[in-house]
Amino acid sequence: MSMHKARKRFGQNFLTDHNIIDKIVRHIQPQPKDLMVEIGPGQGALTRPLLDAVEHLHAVELDRDLIALLQRQIHPRRLTLHESDVLKFDFRTLSATKQHDLRVVGNLPYNISTPIMFHLIEQLSVVKDMHFMLQKEMVTRLTAAPNSKHWGRLSVMVQYHCNAEYLFTVPPQAFSPAPKVDSAIIRLTPRDPITPTAQDYALFARLVNQAFTQRRKAIRNSIKPFLSAEAIESTGIDPSLRPDALSVAQYVTLANTAVTDLGA
């Protein structure tokens, strides 16, 4: 196999540990008829074992050298390669039913994992589940619970849309080149229906963002532009709580109260 040098600008770290690869595939549990897309297949470390299980796989890759490498090694009947920046790719075009049928997997580049997450959240109507390798710290934040130091804007926004499970940790030596940090595997499953629902999603997102810009302050101070202390108290939520003490449902309650209060 021809060697491909990892490119820093693409945030490439290639997975090389076969025990870890097998463990990831076991957690994904791919089935022959699954509609699956891999983000950033790299040199195909995960692509090949997935193709042992599924009849056909889609993959989104930006690096032309890697696309050429995969095209030489895997028949196009088995693998459809989409040359694209993942942040511009419309995953809805792959969905057959437009109803939660797409399984998304990938070893996400550390430098753009948060934007990728929000890009996919906008397209969750076609997503069945997502399995990602991310920096361990990121997975810890995404799967955090209220009243922990890792609970923040990202936790609230992702958990509003998805159930998030921390599956297992991956050590640096599983990669080439070895990153300086641990990685971890996360499973994200869209919540359908989302309950309680934010009546005005944009306002909900702004309120959560505002709350965590001053995470040491009581919410009566941090979300003052949206709600008075009295309005917060009227929902049954203590206005002296800090932002990291509130659950997703409580943020939805506050946002929906602000919608009413602002006459939106």
First to last CA, the chain: 60
In the numeric block, the tokens 């390669």 are attached to 81
CB 248 within 8 A of CB 159: yes
CB 94 within 8 A of CB 102: yes
Q: State how many domains the chain has.
A: 2
If asked whether residues 44 and 131 sit together in one domain, one would say yes
**Of the residues 170, 190, 210, the one at which a domain ends:** 190
Output the pLDDT for position 14.
Answer: 81
**Domain-located, residue 196:** no
Say which amino acid occupies 142: L
If asked whether residues 100 and 226 sit together in one domain, one would say no
If asked whether residues 101 and 12 sit together in one domain, one would say yes
If asked whether residues 69 and 93 sit together in one domain, one would say yes
If asked whether residues 83 and 133 sit together in one domain, one would say yes
Q: Which two tokens stand for residue 112?
A: 């753009």
CATH number of the domain at 243, please. Answer: 1.10.8.100
Output the pTM of the full model. 0.91
Domain that holds residue 81: 8-190
Q: Are strands 35-39 and 102-107 parallel, antiparallel or unpaired?
A: parallel
CB burial of residue 22 (10 Å; 0-12, 13-18, 19+): exposed
If asked whether residues 63 and 110 sit together in one domain, one would say yes
If asked whether residues 242 and 180 sit together in one domain, one would say no
Report DSSP state, residue 52. T
User: 223-254 pLDDT, tens per residue?
Assistant: 999 999 999 999 999 999 999 999 999 999 99
Output the pLDDT for position 20.
Answer: 94
Let me know how long the chain is: 264
Kind and range of the H or E element at 36?
strand 35-39
Report DSSP state, residue 68. H
**Of the residues 159, 190, 221, the one at which a domain ends:** 190
Give SS3 for 58. Answer: strand
Give SS3 for 53. Answer: coil
CATH number of the domain at 165, please. Answer: 3.40.50.150
**Of the residues 138, 156, 190, the one at which a domain ends:** 190
Report the 10 Å Cβ neighbour count for 171.
14
**Domain-located, residue 244:** yes
Q: How far apart are CA 70 and CA 65, in angstroms?
A: 9
Output the pLDDT for position 262.
Answer: 64
Give SS3 for 175. Answer: strand
Output the pLDDT for position 188.
Answer: 98
Within the chain, which residues score under 70 in pLDDT?
A: 1-12, 262-264
Report the 10 Å Cβ neighbour count for 46.
25
If asked whether residues 170 and 100 sit together in one domain, one would say yes
